[in-house]
Chains A and B, each alone.
Chain A
Amino acid sequence: MAIARALAREQFTHQERAPGLDERSKAKRFEQLFVAHLDSAYDLARWLTRDERNAEDVVQEACLRAFKFLDGFHGDNARVWLLAIVRNTYYTWLRKNQFQALNVPLDEEGADGVPLEFDGGNPVDELLQQKDARRLINGALEQLPAEFREVIVLRELEDLSYKEIAAVADIPLGTVMSRLARARKLLLQHLQQVRQEV
């Protein structure tokens, strides 16, 4: 009995001590799957936090989580998985830091009677003629509420499909479409306003 106990104890410490092929192959797998998509992760975090330092913090935290749950990843789209973790990490971080409540209308289909579509001329073409078009357009996206900002980033910068956006943002496909439509309408409204002020 004593020997068995000693054996069990030794076996335990053996596993504790050994650096293990497991650990190294896990690091390698992590590298291949996720570090390769670091630019995507940072881009989303940077647009969500609107700040460089906070974006780095969110990405680091997200990568630690991804590493922790690496064994649970069996899918084939590591980028989508990592982006979903970045997004969750951002909202956790937001709550923890007690930032202002997210100001998103519950009904995305336009219960206020306002159609989802923008209907006032074509502000974009004229804006593009201006020297600071880049600043104005970046500014337009920055001022959108996070829920709308993220779908635009995922669609236009990360080039994800509706299905992939649905997976990252954890919303149904129909919501992806209406949220994108609404986000675009808000962007057009904002740009229209900017144009009139110029």
Chain B
Amino acid sequence: MDCTDIRSRLPAYLDQELDAANVAAIDRHLAACDACSAAFARQSNLRRALREQLTYHRAPAGLASRIRSQVTPAEPRRFRFAPQWWQFGAAVAATAVVTWMAAVEFQRPAPDQLLAEEVIAGHARAVLTSHVADVATSDQHTVKPWLSSKLDFSPPVTDLTGAGFPLLGGRLDYLDNRPVAALAYQHRQHLISLFVWPERDAARSAPMRGFSRQGYNVLHWTDAGMTYWAISDLNGNELRDFAQAYASAK
């Protein structure tokens, strides 16, 4: 590739949208070509400035409830069946219940998948209510004892400001039928929730794997008898960076 090719690929290189072969070719070229590496520095400086300085406008308080009140009826409507339709209604309901039970039977998702739904709901709840921490401090020596005093285990808590993921605090949540620790971290404008609890089956070990759902990226792994779920609307690569920073600092 000559300089013109390289320059045309720089934006995608910067955005991590290139395949490995192209990335390697550009890496080699940038190491050797001053002009192209200056062009890349300009672009990546701009990117950093934008990400650090641009204002992320959060939805004002009250907007969510205004929208809710618009999409749902103003007052709870009561069932007002005419007497002769009472039985008809009951029959419909009974059929619906039977159908629903059958559907649940046949479509029961894998346990991990159910858990993933719970994890997403837990994170979304924290974001929606703007309640990301019961104990809001970046001091790991405050967060850890607080969580340990409320739980029957002691979750590893590390501030990762050095790696670009400052600790915002800790909170309690209830997942997988037990109280769990939820650590809140931030990366740029993005909130990361890390849920931690002791693995039921201490011998089970799961390597790190990730998937995305409903606009969130989710990572799950186990380590030394603990199970971990990290979730954020951050992109998959940076969430992985976070998980690795956490795992190696712990």
Please give the residue numbers on chain A whose beta carbons come within 8 Å of chain B beta carbons, in ascending order. Answer: 10-11, 14, 17-19, 21, 23, 27, 30-33, 35-43, 46-47, 52, 55-56, 59-60, 63-64, 67, 76-80, 115-119, 122, 124-125, 127-128, 133-134, 137-138, 141, 152, 155-157, 159, 161-162, 177, 180-181, 184, 187-188, 191
B215 contact from A43, A78, A152, A181, Cβ within 8 A: A78
Given A76-B214, A77-B214, A184-B43: A177 in contact with B11 (beta carbons within 8 A): yes
B234 contact from A31, A36, A137, A159, Cβ within 8 A: A159
Q: Say yes or no: is B21 at the interface (Cβ < 8 Å to chain A).
A: no
**A32 and B55: CB pair below 8 A?**
no
Residues of the B chain whose Cβ atoms lie less than 8 Å from the Cβ of A38: 59, 63-64, 67, 128
Q: Is the interface of A mostly helix, strand, loop or mixed?
A: helix
Residues of the B chain whose Cβ atoms lie less than 8 Å from the Cβ of A191: 46
Q: Say yes or no: is B82 at the interface (Cβ < 8 Å to chain A).
A: yes
**B57 and A55: CB pair below 8 A?**
yes
B15, B49, B189 pick with most chain A CB within 10 angstroms:
B49
CB distance from B184 to the nearest CB of A (A): 15
Residues of the A chain whose Cβ atoms lie less than 8 Å from the Cβ of B15: 155, 162, 180
A122 and B37 CA atoms in complex are apart in Å by 12
A159 and B188 CA atoms in complex are apart in Å by 10
A57 and B88 CA atoms in complex are apart in Å by 43
Subset of 8 A-B contacts with CB under 8 Å = A17-B77, A18-B81, A27-B68, A63-B70, A141-B50, A161-B17, A162-B15, A177-B17
CB distance from B59 to the nearest CB of A (A): 4
**A43 and B50: CB pair below 8 A?**
no
Q: Say yes or no: is B204 at the interface (Cβ < 8 Å to chain A).
A: no
Residues of the A chain whose Cβ atoms lie less than 8 Å from the Cβ of B8: 116
**A35 and B64: CB pair below 8 A?**
yes
A18 and B7 CA atoms in complex are apart in Å by 62
Q: Say yes or no: is B139 at the interface (Cβ < 8 Å to chain A).
A: no
Given A117-B39, A156-B51: A36 in contact with B71 (beta carbons within 8 A): no
Residues of the A chain whose Cβ atoms lie less than 8 Å from the Cβ of B54: 137-138, 141, 156-157
**B45 and A14: CB pair below 8 A?**
no
**A127 and B49: CB pair below 8 A?**
yes
**A181 and B70: CB pair below 8 A?**
no
**B50 and A32: CB pair below 8 A?**
no
Residues of the A chain whose Cβ atoms lie less than 8 Å from the Cβ of B94: none
**A59 and B59: CB pair below 8 A?**
yes
**A18 and B79: CB pair below 8 A?**
yes
A37 and B89 CA atoms in complex are apart in Å by 37
A122 and B12 CA atoms in complex are apart in Å by 20
Within 8 A of A (CB), among B51-87: 51, 53-60, 63-64, 66-68, 70-73, 76-82, 84-85
Residues of the A chain whose Cβ atoms lie less than 8 Å from the Cβ of B101: none
A184 and B39 CA atoms in complex are apart in Å by 12
B124 contact from A36, A117, A161, A184, Cβ within 8 A: A36
**A27 and B57: CB pair below 8 A?**
no
**A56 and B42: CB pair below 8 A?**
no
**A10 and B57: CB pair below 8 A?**
no
CB distance from B119 to the nearest CB of A (A): 13
Listed from nearest, the 5 A-B pairs whose CB atoms lie closest are A79-B215, A42-B59, A46-B57, A36-B124, A137-B53
**A159 and B233: CB pair below 8 A?**
yes
B82 contact from A10, A78, A161, Cβ within 8 A: A10
**A157 and B56: CB pair below 8 A?**
yes
**A122 and B53: CB pair below 8 A?**
no
Residues of the A chain whose Cβ atoms lie less than 8 Å from the Cβ of B235: 159, 161
**B67 and A157: CB pair below 8 A?**
no
Residues of the A chain whose Cβ atoms lie less than 8 Å from the Cβ of B43: 184
Within 8 A of A (CB), among B211-250: 212-215, 233-235, 238
Residues of the B chain whose Cβ atoms lie less than 8 Å from the Cβ of A77: 212, 214-215
CB distance from A112 to the nearest CB of B (A): 17
**B45 and A40: CB pair below 8 A?**
no
Residues of the A chain whose Cβ atoms lie less than 8 Å from the Cβ of B71: 27, 30, 63-64, 67
A71 and B212 CA atoms in complex are apart in Å by 21
